[in-house]
Structure formats: structure tokens, C-alpha cells
Amino acid sequence: MKMLHGIMIFAGIAAMAASAADKSSEEGGLLSPGTQAPDFTLQSDRGDTVRLADYRGKNYVVLVFYPGDQTPGCTKQLCAIRDDYSRFTQKGAVVFGINPAGKESHEKFVAKQHYQFQLLVDNGQKVAGMYGTNGLMLRRTVYVVDKEGKIAFAKRGMPSDSDILAAMK
């Protein structure tokens, strides 16, 4: 009985340690505000070639890394941006959703939800890796890149549109 009790206590401690490690790694890998945003070139749902460098000196760029097309959380997040899109354009921002789904999947998602912004295809999660959002499953993360190409905002999860917009000064 003592042995079983000891094993249960050890298992509980191990579970708490694993949970703490998960939480710390959840925030780990985020690019810090003020650092240079890694440049990338990706294809969009429209067939366009999108280069982050093309927006330097012109626009804020909002990068929304999200796990999957047509999933409830991702749809909610991207629809909130769609509904507030005029607030983003008033700030001089362009928005891109990014995940590893293919062009056809993105096309269907955009058509169904009427997104004004493009969804980018990140084959092999190469860009996600540069931005610290890759893993077994893409980690939902939002970045704002300022007009000089530096990270102005970085947050895991679903930050409010107001929080994202506040990073654009």
C-alpha cells in the first residue's frame, strides 16, 4: 500500500511538472517586440506570391498563425478580424492568415467566410518555424510587424482585435 501511495504521489508531481513545462514552452519561441521579423515568401490562396519585405516602409503586417481551415476556433478568430477589417485598413495594416493547408483548402475557407485578406500556404511549416509557432500542431499566434520590419506585437492564442490594433502606433 505504501508503495502504491508513493507511486501516486510521484505521478502527481510528475504531472504538475509536465503541466508547468507545457505552459512555459507555450510562450517559448515567441519573437520579442523590437526584433527584426524574419523575411519570407509564400503563395496565397489567390495564387499570389507574398513577400514580407514588399511591405517594409509601407504597411503594418498582421500575421495570424492558426492551426486549421474550417475549424471552430480558427474560424472564430479570423471572422473577428474579417468583421473589424476596416479598423485594420484604417491603421494601414495588411492581414495574412498562415498555416500549412494547401491552396485549395484556403480557397474554400476564404469563399465560405468571405475573408478580405489572403491566407498563405506554409508548406512544411518553414515560416512557422522561423516565428516559433510550429510543433506537432501549429500554435495559434498573432504577430504585428511594423513598417520598419520589426516585431511590434507577439501573442499566443486569440488576442482581441483591439489589442492587436493598439500595437500599431
The ranges assigned to domains in the chain are 31-166
The answer on pLDDT for 37 being more than 60 is yes
Tell me if residue 74 is catalytic: yes
Reported as a single tens digit per residue, the pLDDT across 85-135 is: 999 999 999 999 999 999 999 999 999 999 999 999 999 999 999 999 998
Q: pLDDT tier at 4 (50, 70, 90 boundaries)?
A: very low
- Going by their DSSP bridges, the two strands 49-51 and 41-44 should be labelled as antiparallel
Go through the chain and tell me how many residues it has.
169
* 3 state SS of 61: strand
Q: pLDDT tier at 66 (50, 70, 90 boundaries)?
A: very high
* pTM of structure: 0.84
Q: Is 157 left (phi over 0), alpha (psi -120 to 50) or beta?
A: left
* Residue of 74, 110, 119, 144 marked active site: 74
Which set of grid coordinates corresponds to residue 93?
A: 495594416
- What was the pLDDT predicted at 56? 97
Q: Is 125 left (phi over 0), alpha (psi -120 to 50) or beta?
A: left
CB-CB neighbours of 95 under 10 Å: 25
- What was the pLDDT predicted at 10? 39
Task: Evaluate whether 97 touches 119 at the Cβ level (below 8 Å).
Answer: yes
Which set of grid coordinates corresponds to residue 153?
A: 506585437
- Going by their DSSP bridges, the two strands 118-121 and 41-44 should be labelled as antiparallel
User: Average pLDDT, stretch 141-163?
Assistant: 98
Task: Evaluate whether 83 touches 76 at the Cβ level (below 8 Å).
Answer: no
* Class of the domain covering 31-166: alpha beta
